[in-house]
Amino acid sequence: MDRPTKRILSGVQPSGDLHLGNYLGAIKNFVALQEEYECFFCVVDLHAITVWQDPKVLANKTREVTAAFIASGIDPKKNNIFVQSQVPQHAQLAWLFNCIARMGWLNRMTQFKDKAGKNSENVSVGLFSYPTLMAADILIYLATHVPVGDDQKQHLELTRDIAQKFNNDFKTDFFPIPEPLIFGQATRVMSLRDGSKKMSKSDPSDYSRIMLTDTADNIAQKIKKAKTDPQPLPSTKEDLKQRPEAENLISIFASLQNSSIENVISEYAGKEFSDFKRDLIDLSVSKLGPITTEMNKLMTDTSYIDSILNDGKDRAINVAEPVLTKTKEIIGFLS
């Protein structure tokens, strides 16, 4: 079996419309990495159903994430784009990892605590064991690198712990210890309504996030309404401390413009937010508009999307199956 040195796996849930955080924290980085790495990009529908998903819309949400990947610039011929539930080896390896991971490790996952809130007795078992499936997504391809937003850091540490414990328990070096790739100016995009909260699909306010499906008018309205503070824009990076909303908008600007936070600060130092917001609207519309247009176009031809996913599935299974077979052999299962 070949042991790759530069293989990426990353996943995006089809659990709602994609937002600017998904794009700047993850998908934009996937596009940048595709030349250098062999890439597996997965639409993680098994993860999505850890909370309720409407069966009438799930398939189309899955296609929409695929369309977003392609519209953002991921080449579907060169990369493997596929759906998690169509590659059964993920769920099979996840079971094996459920028997490796410890309750204490999963109990420490902050994302579970945030999502379950006070309702932890009543959430699905899947939501609790979510990170072991994520470890399986990565390790079933022996992936060496995982590009994600900052919020997935703890899950990746758990993936590394699972790989390490499996290797130690079975006295092998079969699984690689994958490295997170968390980079760019917007690794944690915050809500437009509250700079202390992450931009997320589950926020009840539509004004908290920019969606990849938003029109230019929607984008303009949301940025105009975005929370700021009464001071003008800062003149040094230091001045951004204690100004989370300003920091967030400047990071978004820098990321969309492919420049640095320092550059944006030096361009706007001392200016009013109204001027800055006007330019941020123009920049956002010019960068996101073409992606939205292309996504909408792709979504009119679902058979094209399905054929990409079908190819991706075959290629993914070709890599995943031998890894699962070897894992079962290491554990001692009858072949």
Tokens of 251: 């990071």
Judge whether 77 counts as a catalytic residue: no
Of 6, 56, 113, 115, which residue is the catalytic one? Answer: 115
- Judged by beta carbon, residue 47 or residue 277, the one nearer ligand TYM is 47
Smallest distance from ligand TYM to CB 138, Å:
5
Nearest-CB residue for ligand TYM: 25
Judge whether 201 counts as a catalytic residue: yes
Judge whether 115 counts as a catalytic residue: yes
Instruction: Specify the 3-state DSSP secondary structure of 228.
Output: coil
Smallest distance from ligand TYM to CB 255, Å:
10
Instruction: State how beta strands 38-43 and 80-83 pair.
Output: parallel
Strands of the sheet containing 145-147, edge to edge, are: 80-83, 38-43, 7-12, 145-147, 179-181
Smallest distance from ligand TYM to CB 199, Å:
4
- Judged by beta carbon, residue 188 or residue 227, the one nearer ligand TYM is 188
CA 302-303-305 angle, to 5 degrees, is 65
Smallest distance from ligand TYM to CB 176, Å:
14
Of 201, 227, 287, 326, which residue is the catalytic one? Answer: 201
- Judged by beta carbon, residue 235 or residue 256, the one nearer ligand TYM is 256
Contact residues for ligand TYM (CB under 6 A)?
9-13, 21-22, 25-26, 44, 47, 134, 137-138, 146, 148-149, 151-152, 155, 187-189, 198-199
What's the alpha-carbon Rg for the chain, to the nearest Å? 21
Instruction: Specify the 3-state DSSP secondary structure of 70.
Output: helix
Q: What is the DSSP string of 305-327?
A: HHHHHHHHHHHHHHHHHHHHHHH
* Catalytic residue set: 115, 198, 201
